[in-house]
Structure 1
C-alpha cells in the first residue's frame, strides 16, 4: 500500500480552495479542479468570474458539471487512504471505534443514525444490511450528539443563513420556516472560500508589514552611516581648526619672545652706556669741585677747558624715541600676524560652514524619506478660502463662499486643515509659498478652537509665518523672530510625534529654519495652511502642496 501512496500523492487530488481531497470535482475551462461547493461559493462572492488558481477571467460563467472520471479516481484514492490507515490503533487525537472492546481501533466512519463511530470491521454491517445502508455515514468525528438537533433528534444537515446556525430538516418547517437555508456542504464550501480569501489578505498584510520593517531597518542603517560620516567630517574640521589655532598661537608667542629679547639686549646696552657716562660725569664733577676750592688763580684759568661739559654724550631723548619706534614695530608685526590668523580662521570658518550646510542638506534628504501625500480638506476651509478640486492648491478669495454649516470649518482664521491626520510616527510634507506676502504653515491638533482666535501655542498650533512681507516668526509664546538669509519659496515641514518635534526647512537652500522641541502630543496632528487675507491683491498667489523631490 505504501507504493500506492507514492504513485498517487494527495496533493494531486486537493481542492486549492478548501485544501481537502476533492468532493464532487468540477473542472474549469482552464483545466483546474475544485470541489463543486467550493467553486460555486467562490464565484458567488466575487464580482468577476475567474479561476482562483490562474486568475483567467471568463466572460460568461461556465456551466459546471461533475467530472465523473475524476470523481471515480478520487474515490479510489480515498479507498486507498482508508485501507492504508485501517486496522491501526487510534492515536491520541484520532476518533476511536465505539464498538471495539480490547484494542480501540481507529474509526473509519461515523453513523449519524446510530450516533456511533465504527472501524472497518464493525462498519461492515452498514455496508451489507439493506436497512443499515440507508444510514448517513460521515467521516469519523467525536461528540456525535453535538451534531444532532437537540429538539428533533435529527442530524444537523442544513445551515440557516438568516440566524447563522445549523439546523435539521424539521427545523425548516417549524422554528426556521421561511428562513434562507442551504446544505451544510454548500455553506462549508463558501466558508472555506471566504477563509481562503481572508488568509490571502492577511498574508498580504503580513508581507506589507515585513516589507515596511525592512524599509525602516534600511533607513536606520543609512541614517547610522550618514551620522557616522558627518561625525568624522566634523571632527576632522574641528581638529584642523584647533591645530591651526595652536600653530598660530605658537608663532605669535615665539615672535613676541624674540622681540622681547631684542628689546632687553638694546636696553641693557643703553644702560651700560649710561652708566659709563655717569662715571665720567661724576669724575669731572669731582675735578670741578676741587677747582672750585682752589685759590690759585693761574691754576684755575689753566684748567678752564675741563669746565666744559663732555661733547661725547648721547641725546637720550632721541634714544627714548628710538625705543618707542621699536615698540611700535613689534605691535605692527603682531597686527600683521593677527591679520594672517584671522584670514586663516575665516577660511576655516567658510569650510566649516560648507560642511555644516552639506550636513543640513543630508539631514533634509533623510527627513524627506518620511514624505506623505497631503490633501487639504475643503470642509475645514474658512469661507474666504478656495480649495482646488485635487486638494493641493489653496488661495484666498475676496468674497465668502456659501457653505453649509459645519463644526469643522474655521470661522476666525483664514485657514484650512488636511484630510489626513497622524497620531504616531514621523511625517513630512512640502508647500510652495512663492509670491506671497503673508502666510502661516505648520501643523495643528484635531481639537483646536476654530471659532475664536487666541494664542497659537495655547490652541495647539505649531507653525511659522511671514507677515507684512518681511517679518518671519515662529509662533511660540511670545513669537520668536527668525533671521533668514534668503526668502523661502518652498517650505518643508517635518513632525516626529513620539519625540515631540516639529521642524521647518527652506527646501531650495536645504537649510533649517526653526524647530519646536519637547512638545507633548496627545491627539491627531493635521497639516495646517493659512494663506492670509488678500485685501489689496498683493497676496493673491496660492499655497501649493508639492510632490517631495528627494534631490541628491
Structure 2
C-alpha cells in the first residue's frame, strides 16, 4: 500500500468541496468521493440531492458509508506528506533544554517529533518511522511531543487514562469505571475534551467580546476627551476674545481719563503762564519808571529837578491783582464718573461679546434641514430643493394624510431629532408674519392649533410686522432692538433648551428652558398667510454662515 501511495498524486486525495485531504471519505452512487461531512452539509443546504461533480440528481438521498480503503490511503498519504514536510523544513537536531527528547535514542538524544499514547514513549524522526509504516503501530494514537507520559497512566491500575468521570471531574482508566467509578457518569476522554474545548471556545468568544466592548468603551472615552478638548479650546478662544475686548475697553477708558485730567492741568498751567507774563510786563514797566525817578531824585540842581518833573512819563497802567488768583481745577468725581461710564460701556460690550461667543458655540451644531411636502398645508408652495416655503392663496388638491397640517399654514422638516444638539437658520427678511420653532412628533395637525409648550410647540412668531412674541402659553411680548432678517434655532435635547437668535446681530431673542422632551422633535415652519401679497416673501432655510 505504501508503494502504491507513492504513485498517486495529491489531487486524487482531495475533496472537491473543501479542497483538503479526505476525512472520512464516502462514495456517491455515481462513483465520486467526498468527505462525509462536506457532502452531508452540501445536501442539507441544496435540494434536491445532486452530485457536485457530475450534477447527477438522486431522487432518494443515498445512504453513505465511509470507504475504508480510500480512508486508509488518505491517512497514509497525509502522514507521508506531513513527514516529508517536516523533514524538508528542518534538519533533525539535538534536543535542547525545554524540548522533549527521543526516548529511543542512545547517547545523544535527538528532539522528539511525536509521542505515542500507547507506547508511552516519544520518538525522533528516525525512530518514528515504524509508527508511520507498520500497520500494527499505525493505529496507535500519536500526539505532539510531551514529557512525563507516565502522568497519563492511572497510578492505581497502571492503565492509560482514556476516560473522564463527570461525577468526580477526573480522568480515569477502564478499570476505574468497573471498580471505583462503577455508577458514575463516565465518557471517553475525547468526548469530554471536545465538550470542554467547546466551552473554552465559547468562553474565549465571550472574553473577546468583553475585550471588544472595552476597546469600544476606550474609543468612546477618548472621543469624549477629544470633544471635551474641542469644547474647551472653543470656550478658551471665546473667553480670550471677550477678555481681550474688555481689556482694550479698560485701557481706552484709562487713556481717556488721563487725557481729561492732563487737559485740565494744561488749561491751569496756560492760565498761570498768562498771568505771570502780564505781571512780569508790568514789573518791567515799573522798574523803568523807578529808575527814572531814582536818577532825578539824586539831582542837586534845584532848577533842573523842578523843570524835569513835568516831562516825566505818566505812570504805566497797572491791574489790580488783589482778586486775581489761579485756582487748581477740581478733580473730584472725575475718576468715579469715568469708572461709571466704563462700567456701562463694559456691560453693553460684554453682553454683545457673550452673545457672539454663544452664537458661535451653537453654530457648531448646524444641521442640514429640508422641508417635508407630506406635512405641508395644501395652500403652501415648497421649492424643489425643499429650502423655501410661502403661502399661495390657492389650495392644491392633496391627500389629507395624518402627517399633513389641514388648517394652519405650516410644514415640518423631514429630519427629526431625539437626542443631542442641533441648530439651523431661517431667513425671514421681507415678511410681516411668520412662526418658527420645533414641535414634538405627536402634535395635533388637524384644525386650529393651540401653539404652546404644553401642546408640544416651542415657537416664536412675528405679527403685524412689528409684534414679536414667544408662544409660551400665555404669549410673552419680545422687545427687540432690531428686526431679525435671519433667525437661528438651537435645541439641546438633554438639557431641555430651545433658543432663538438674531443670527445677523448675534443676539439672543428668547429661550425656552426646563423643557422635558420624550419624543422626536421636528423643525417647524409657518410662513403665515399671503395677505394679498403683503406677506408673499418665503421662509428660506439658509446655510449657516459662522459669525466672525
Q: Based on CA coordinates, which of the two structures has the bigger radius of gyration? A: 2
Q: What TM-score do you get using the length of structure 2 for normalisation?
A: 0.48
Q: What TM-score do you get using the length of structure 1 for normalisation?
A: 0.48
